Amino acid sequence: MLRGHAQPAKVAEVVLHNEPGGRFVEECLAIFLRVRLTVTGACMGEALPEGSDVTVAHRSARSPRIGDIVLVRQPEGLRLHRLIWGPPVALCRQWRTKADRSRRWDARVAADAIIGTVVGSDRGIEPGGRRVRRAAWSLAAAVASRAWAALPAGRP
């Protein structure tokens, strides 16, 4: 799409089953700048219910910020999780994401592992909007979970 035109941006619809590494999705995002994906799994709870279709914008079209739901490349594959640690607070350039329903955060990732940001949903939910409080709550819950796990066997 050229700037200044009132035409909507092209959106690629991608249907993949067990696609290793997600390279195809990354390539589609690089070309189209937006892709539509179907959510599988319930780890994001009410924010992204299983089966909902979401539109993900490439990181160059929409910079990820703390509180956003992002498409992140993890060792297990691509995940739609909330960004809970990143710029401007990521001092050592390590970013952290976490599923809303998980007690633990995901493994550290480099900035280039954040592929895109969710900017819309077919269910009328606007998950692309910043939810800084939700991100802070997720971070606090993960820290508390780690602290609890570190207590000796005779926990209080």
Judge whether residue 20 has pLDDT over 80. Answer: no
Q: What is the pTM of this model?
A: 0.70
Judge whether residue 5 has pLDDT over 50. Answer: no
Per-residue pLDDT of 45-78, as tens digits, reads 888 888 889 999 998 888 888 889 999 998 888 8
Between these two residues, 87 and 60, which has the higher pLDDT value?
60
Record: fold of 12-149: Umud Fragment, subunit A (2.10.109)
Judge whether residue 143 has pLDDT over 50. Answer: yes
Nearest to 61, CA basis, from 53, 74, 47, 71: 71
What is the percentage of the chain residues whose pLDDT exceeds 70?
Answer: 62
Q: State the average pLDDT over residues 118-134.
A: 68
What confidence tier does 153 reach under pLDDT thresholds 50, 70, 90? low
- The CA angle 116-121-125, to the nearest 5 degrees, is 115
Residue 4 has what pLDDT? 32
